[in-house]
Amino acid sequence: MPDESLLAIDFGTSNTVAVLARGDGAPEPLLVDGFPVLPSTVFNTRDGRLLVGRDAQRASASDPARCEPNPKRRIDDTSVLLGDREFAVPELIGAVLRRVWDEARRVNGTGVDRLVLTHPVNWGERRLGLLRAAADAAGVPVRPTLIPEPVAAAHRFAADSVERVGPGRFGLVYDLGAGTCDITLIRHRGTAFETGHTDGLPDVGGLDIDYALVALLRQWYPRGDIWRRLESPDTPADRRHRRLLWEDVRTTKELLSRESSASVFIPLLEVDTHLTRTELEDVARPLIRRTIDVATRVAAMADGGVQAIYLTGGASRMPLVATEMLRALGVPAIVAEQPELVIASGAVRAAVAPTHQPDAAAVPVPPIFEYDPTAYNTDPVPADFGITPEEIRNVQFSTVKLREGYDEEEVDAYLDEAEARVARGETPAVPGQTVVFKVTRLREGYAMNEVDDFVDRLIALSDAADARGSA
């Protein structure tokens, strides 16, 4: 409809971005508190209200125990304790969505007709259900459309994709956000782009580069007493100093994407020192090369290689990313002017594009992944599989912290995919597949022996079903 309004929200690990489309006008970034990027931070006030964004960041300086800076990372937790109260994860995510929704209504002057939410491509139905529950908790009166992030990115680069990626050929979407890196193959199918193999790293993002820069500063100025106060502040004044340091480091990192040098101020030491782009790249290169290794593996799945590489996410603006990508894959990467807006902007285009456009082969139309309960087989799977989607969904593992465990996010993502495969009538695992999870140390993870036993069972069941099918 010409007068229909549509709001697309890219809920990220550290920041949330939204784009509002009104009628026939061009989609525009939604400014919240005057900025196109809203911190995803949530803070529980003493009277039980949830502050969001910069308000939450400011409030957290006096009582960090009431703050959750990265609600998206808690998607697999049952609840989150903020101060003296536990919150369900959809409540925290919903608070962020509500802040954006309310601002969109204020800007639009009336209600908003449609809501689009983007999500990582490897999120299974359980996580998508929590995202829908968050929209409900936000009081959104419309049912959201859910679109995988790389599909949205393909739409954002649609015109270029048609020119560079011919029918049946592949492109690569490299999304380096604040907390994670996700890499996905997209394939041009005439009038559509479809997502293919996806992989990523749950522990590499812009925040990790910030940590590396702080470690470099500590190496330059080895004042242990000062750094203890900055890293583990006990007073409101030191907590403000810590926040100022991290804000300045992040700003300096972003400036070095455009300039050859920049200054950073270290509170308490009262030092204003200079960093160069070369020094930034030296500390970031090991992290970036880990992501390039993953990108290389994903690109190897493309028959004939990839014809285009699209960079999204705020951290991808570092020139080092495009340089290392070109060196590894031999394909120049395409960077948007504002990479943090790519997903939300593309989601608007994806939502308004017709799902079938047989007479418009020049326009790529990625499929819209909106949940349809009838698309999933919830009946018990055939007996020769030996397991049901419900069994996979309800499996629980012990949590360990003082000994090695498996990364919880990686294990949960694997189980989400296994559940979806069984629901579609496929084997729970790829027969013969080797599964490797990242090992955690000194932070919570799943008990390795319990995960290994369950994964071995899934693989054995899959191998047996595959052998019977081939007999």
Q: Provide DSSP, 413-424.
A: HHHHHHHHHHHT
Q: Which has the closest alpha carbon to 204: 123, 121, 290?
A: 290
Question: Which tops the pLDDT comparison, 23 or 52?
Answer: 52
Bridge partners, residue 118, by sequence: 147
Share of the chain above pLDDT 70, in %: 86
User: Positive or negative CA dihedral for 54, 57, 58, 59?
Assistant: positive
Q: Is 219 exposed, middle or buried (0-12, 13-18, 19+ CB in 10 A)?
A: exposed
Q: How many CB atoms lie within 10 A of CB 359?
A: 7
Mean per-residue pLDDT for 433-460?
79
Single-letter code of the amino acid located at 420: A
Cβ atoms of 368 and 147 closer than 8 Å = yes
DSSP 120: -
Q: What CA–CA distance (Å, rounded) separates 204 from 262? A: 23
- Most confident range, picked from 120-124, 257-261, 416-420: 257-261
Same fold, 5-143 and 150-340: yes
Sign of CA dihedral 217, 223, 229, 232: positive
In the predicted model, is pLDDT for residue 9 greater than 80?
yes
Q: What are the counts of helices (DSSP H) followed by strands (DSSP E) for the chain?
A: 14, 22
Nearest to 438 by CA among 457, 403, 411: 411
Q: Give domain 5-143's CATH number out of 3.30.420.40, 3.40.50.150, 3.90.550.10, 3.30.930.10.
A: 3.30.420.40
Three-class secondary structure of residue 240 per DSSP: helix
Over residues 378-391, the mean pLDDT reads: 57
Residue with tokens 């959809």: 90
Q: Which two tokens stand for residue 322?
A: 């495009």
Quick: pLDDT tens for 228-259. 898 888 887 888 888 889 889 999 999 998 89
Q: Please say if the pLDDT value at position 431 is more than 70.
A: no
**Torsion, CA 329, CA 334, CA 340, CA 345, rounded to 10:** -130
Residue 102's pLDDT is: 95
Instruction: Give the pairing type, strands 333-335 and 15-22.
Output: unpaired
pLDDT score of 433: 59
pLDDT band for 40, please (50, 70, 90 cuts). very high
| Residue pair 242/231 in contact by the 8 Å Cβ criterion | yes
With 0-12 CB in 10 A as exposed, 13-18 as middle and 19+ as buried, what is 324? buried
Q: Is beta strand 193-201 parallel, antiparallel or unpaired with respect to 261-266?
A: unpaired
* Relative orientation angle of helices 342-352 and 149-156, to the nearest 10 degrees: 80
pLDDT digits (tens, 9 = 90+) for 133-181: 999 999 999 999 999 888 888 788 765 555 566 667 788 989 998 878 8
Architecture of domain 150-340: 2-Layer Sandwich (3.30)
Residue labelled with tokens 């054995």: 460
Please name which of 316, 215, 175 lies closest in space to residue 257, comparing C-alpha atoms.
316
Structural domain boundaries in the chain:
5-143, 150-340, 373-470
48-60 exposure pattern, b = at least 16 Cβ within 10 A, e = fewer: eebbbbebbbebb
Angle between helix axes 224-231 and 236-255 (nearest 10 degrees) is 90
| pLDDT of 88 higher than 60 | yes
Average pLDDT, the chain: 82
Which amino acid does the sequence have at 51?
Answer: L
pLDDT at 71: 92
User: Which whole number is the average pLDDT over 364-384?
Assistant: 33
